[in-house]
Amino acid sequence: MKTNPERINSILVAAVASSLFSGVLASSAHAHDASAERVKELESQLRAMQENMQMMQNGMQAMQSELNRLKSQPAPVVRTNESIQTRGEGAAMAVAPEPIPAPAPAVEERKKNNMVFFRGGFAHSSQHRNGMTFQSDVVPVGAQDRPDKNAWYFGAGFDFNLTNDAWGLAPKTSLLAELMFEYKEFSSTVQGNALANMPSQLAGGALNPHSVSVTQLSVYASPKVKFMEGSRLRPWIIPAGFGVHIVSPPGESGSFFIPGVVFGGGAEYRIWKDLYAGIDARYHITGGKKDGVDVDGLTAGGYLGIGF
């Protein structure tokens, strides 16, 4: 059987064409599938962007609502801070308002309402001091001299502040506890009786008196009321306080402790910072003589104080 070359060529051409057509169809189908996948991927990314935009919009609305609420309050506006939270790879940033605590107020310098003070001035006794070694009823022998009624004094003390408004009962009125000591000297040249004679006239000696110092130490614990809190000038009073007086020489029976009551008043002025200057007057009552000794009297003078 003879083969026709033209027919063979036609068959070959048809086969090649068929093969090419099939490849084109396959390529077209593959390209179509790839395009569809790409479109789906783009749609997915678009939806994610829309969700992120919605989240950002919700966060901005919440922050605006919080700012409006804070502005409507009478208290100082509290600043807000943006809290950024990352949620997974490629997630959007969400804004959430968070109040920042208001800064603590500056601590005010503590007022120095306590005080240490130093006093000095003039003292006067209601009666002459009698005792064992000068003018004496027990030993009426010798010079029998008497000290003067007047004296000088110095002392010091502390004021401890308890309240600046009398526990709510009296505005600008401070109540303090005062603790103070005071030294008085009436004389250091009093000529004594026979007991202060060298040798004693009771032993047959001649009149040869020596000098006797007449002194008194007092310790007080008193409530003090100061007015005009916050002012540079502050008057004050002591309604009643307790005092103990120690006398030298002692009384006829050897007693030297004498209790009593003190009343006082004065005023002080703040000179500079915590430095004060003041004047005061006090009256001391012991209820009469004790073993022949009467220390009732008054003191008047000035003082310098330092606040602490």
Q: What is the Cα–Cα distance from 221 to 25, expressed in whole angstroms?
A: 118
Domain boundaries along the sequence of the chain: 23-105, 115-307
* Residue 266 predicted with pLDDT over 90: yes
More confident residue, 80 or 50: 50
Three-class SS state of 292: coil
pLDDT at 83: 47
Please give the radius of gyration of the chain, using alpha carbons only, rounded to the nearest integer: 52
Three-class SS state of 145: coil
Q: What is the mean pLDDT of the chain?
A: 80
pLDDT at 208: 79
Mean pLDDT of 173-187: 96
277 and 119 in contact (C-beta within 8 Å)? no
| For the chain, percent of residues with pLDDT exceeding 90 | 39
pLDDT at 90: 47
Mean pLDDT of 177-204: 86
pLDDT at 211: 83
Residue with tokens 């949620």: 87
Q: How confident is the model at residue 5 (pLDDT cuts 50, 70, 90)?
A: low
DSSP 8-class letter at 148: -
Q: What is the pTM of this model?
A: 0.60
Separation in Å, CA 284 to CA 121, 218, 226, 230: 15, 10, 20, 30
* Residue 22 predicted with pLDDT over 70: no
* Residue 278 predicted with pLDDT over 70: yes
* 103 Cα distance to chain centroid: 20
Which of 92-106, 130-144, 153-167, 196-210 reaches the highest mean pLDDT? 153-167
CA angle 300, 303, 304 (to 5 degrees): 175
Mean pLDDT of 268-280: 96
Phi, then psi, of 54 in degrees rounded to 5: -65, -40
Q: What is the Cα–Cα distance from 176 to 222, expressed in whole angstroms?
A: 9
Q: What is the pLDDT of residues 63-118, one digit of tens each?
A: 888 888 877 776 554 444 444 444 544 444 444 455 666 655 544 445 678 999 99
More confident residue, 241 or 143: 241
Q: How confident is the model at residue 56 (pLDDT cuts 50, 70, 90)?
A: confident
Three-class SS state of 27: helix
pLDDT at 272: 94
DSSP 8-class letter at 171: T
291 and 255 in contact (C-beta within 8 Å)? yes
Domain 115-307 sits in CATH 2.40.160.20: yes
Exposure of 89 in the CB half-sphere (CA atoms within 13 A): 0
Q: What is the Cα–Cα distance from 208 to 200, expressed in whole angstroms?
A: 8
299 and 123 in contact (C-beta within 8 Å)? yes
CB neighbours of 160 closer than 8 A, spacing ≥ 6?
114, 176, 177, 178, 179
The residue type of 145 is: D
Pick from 111-115, 152-156, 158-162, 241-245: least confident = 111-115
Helices (H) and strands (E) in the chain, counts: 1, 10
Q: What is the Cα–Cα distance from 58 to 50, expressed in whole angstroms?
A: 12
Neighbours of 9 (CB within 10 A): 10
What is the C-alpha end-to-end distance of the chain, expressed in Å?
138
Mean pLDDT of 191-211: 79
pLDDT at 16: 60
